């Protein structure tokens, strides 16, 4: 059947903590990305590597993070993946240092490092993804198109394809877009969603409710900006979270309760990284550099 079985690796939690530390230390040493941090890009890489999963696909792998196919130019060529090569190049020196780790494991672990080193919650993670050849590369257009503006569209990606509930899709999108920014050279959109784009938080939810969001006046793609500072943005798909009453309920809960938001995000992000994979091994948790005094 088309279930990807994670393989046992020759390494334990201590080894993967070393890989974690190498990725995290490089975040401090290499700062030539926006806001001086590659962490948001690593989170987006982990998400796009995993978000190509389709539970209705009858192929052998169904996409997702298992086969590490994001390493191929074919998958990198999906217009939605524009800009991710920079994240993979960032991780190449880690792959050189720890050659045994599969690409799927490396790209997902990069996302865990990104979240945790930006003060986010602990994300459980497991190794065992296996590099497979190029022919299992998933087709394009599975990752969401930000110009879409209906709840039906967002659920077609997150619920029908990826198997998430409204609660999970709201927390994934809102915490994911608390960090980083849009780049015109990647997506045609521009700007950050929050005032603290290198801190994992519930700020996206607060701003979505508190600010007055109007169409940005420019020649670029249709996007929203806040009337207060004109420096923040929302994508059409982000605005859906407020326009759809079932989704909005969760936006209100997460805006009020940051602890709940972080806990639910941790569960949903971990699930995202493991879509379509069967693991027989226990979950691993990693310490941040700060917790190790490094």
Q: Which residues are catalytic?
A: 48, 193
Q: Does 270 bind ligand DDH (CB under 6 A)?
A: no
Q: Does 44 bind ligand DDH (CB under 6 A)?
A: yes
Q: Does 52 bind ligand DDH (CB under 6 A)?
A: no
Helices (H), the chain: 13-29, 39-50, 73-76, 85-97, 103-117, 151-155, 166-176, 203-210, 236-243, 245-256, 258-273
Largest CA distance in the chain: 55
- Least separation, in Å, of the C-beta of 52 and ligand DDH? 13
Interacting residue with ligand DDH among 27, 41, 232, 262 (CB under 6 A): 41
Q: Does 161 bind ligand DDH (CB under 6 A)?
A: no
Give dist(CA 142, CA 54) in Å, integer: 8
What is the rounded (10 degree) CA torsion for 61, 64, 65, 67?
30
Interacting residue with ligand DDH among 43, 101, 170, 234 (CB under 6 A): 43
Q: Which stretch binds ligand DDH (CB under 6 A): 22-30, 40-48, 223-231, 255-263?
A: 40-48
Interacting residue with ligand DDH among 19, 182, 207, 255 (CB under 6 A): 182
Judged by beta carbon, residue 56 or residue 185, the one nearer ligand DDH is 185
Quick one: how far is CA 99 from the chain centroid? 24
Judged by beta carbon, residue 50 or residue 61, the one nearer ligand DDH is 50
The residues in 84-143 that bind ligand DDH, with binding defined as CB under 6 A, are none
- Least separation, in Å, of the C-beta of 80 and ligand DDH? 8
Burial class of 189 by CB neighbour count within 10 A (0 to 12, 13 to 18, 19+) = buried
Quick one: how far is CA 47 from the chain centroid? 3
DSSP bridge partners of 234: 224
Quick one: DSSP state of residue 159? I
Q: Does 174 bind ligand DDH (CB under 6 A)?
A: no
Quick one: DSSP state of residue 44? H
Interacting residue with ligand DDH among 101, 172, 232, 247 (CB under 6 A): 172
Residue ranges in contact with ligand DDH by CB under 6 A: 40-41, 43-44, 47, 83, 144, 146, 154, 172-173, 176-177, 179-183, 186-187, 189, 235, 237, 269
């Amino acid at each position: 059947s088309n279930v990807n079985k994670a393989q046992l690796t020759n390494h334990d939690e201590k080894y993967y903590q070393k890989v974690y530390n190498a990725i995290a230390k490089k975040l401090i040493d290499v700062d030539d990305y926006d806001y001086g941090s590659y962490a948001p890009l690593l989170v987006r890489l982990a998400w796009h590597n995993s978000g190509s999963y389709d539970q209705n696909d009858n192929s052998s792998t169904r996409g997702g993070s298992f086969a590490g196919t994001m390493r191929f130019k074919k998958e990198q060529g999906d217009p939605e993946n524009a800009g991710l090569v920079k994240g993979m190049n960032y991780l190449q020196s880690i792959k050189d240092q720890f050659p045994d780790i599969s690409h799927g494991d490396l790209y997902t672990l990069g996302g865990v490092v990104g979240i945790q080193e930006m003060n986010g919650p602990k994300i459980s993670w497991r190794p065992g993804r296996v590099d497979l050849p190029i022919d299992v590369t998933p087709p394009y257009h599975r990752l969401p198109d930000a110009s879409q503006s209906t709840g039906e569209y967002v659920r077609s990606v997150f619920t029908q394809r990826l198997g998430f509930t409204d609660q999970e899709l709201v927390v994934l999108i809102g915490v994911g877009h608390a960090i980083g920014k849009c780049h015109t050279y990647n997506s045609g959109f521009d700007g950050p969603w929050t005032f603290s784009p290198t801190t994992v938080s519930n700020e996206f939810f607060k701003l979505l409710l508190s600010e007055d969001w109007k169409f940005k006046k420019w020649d670029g793609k249709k996007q929203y900006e806040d009337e207060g500072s004109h420096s923040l943005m929302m994508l059409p798909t982000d605005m859906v979270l407020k326009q759809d009453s079932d989704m909005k309920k969760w936006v209100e809960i997460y805006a009020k309760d940051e602890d709940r938001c972080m806990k639910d995000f941790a569960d949903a992000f971990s699930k995202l990284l493991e879509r379509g994979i069967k693991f027989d091994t226990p979950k691993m948790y990693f310490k941040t550099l700060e917790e190790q005094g490094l």
